[in-house]
Amino acid sequence: MIEEILNELNLSKTPPGEYSALTLAYLGDCVYELYVRSYLVKDGNKNVNTLHKTATKHVCCAAQAELYRKIENMLTDEEEAVFHRGRNTKSHVPKNSEMRDYRDATGVEALIGWLYLKGEKQRICDLLKHIFV
């Protein structure tokens, strides 16, 4: 389901490496959330309040940092470099987040944004399926 949704969206003509890490993270956050929400409704209608509560457990910096720990050994050198670019970007850490989790989450989001711009939708799905494992 998510593959079809991502296939319908148009990709940018700007090479992915030319985007700032935070722009990649901004886009990656959207793709990540779309994946989570699509996964949660794949079996049909559910109570929206329940969907929201479940989604927020997966779309937070702690969950994204945990995802990184699950997939870090699967990343190519190039993907790892993009992750580090995102993780090492200076940004404001929200007061109710751990700095390490927030930075790891930004790295994951940047990686997802980069893969999306490269058109590697299947790779995104291969990595994100580990959210629910």
Active site amino acids: 29
Sign of the CA dihedral running 6, 35, 104, 127: negative
Encoding tokens for residue 5? 């949704």
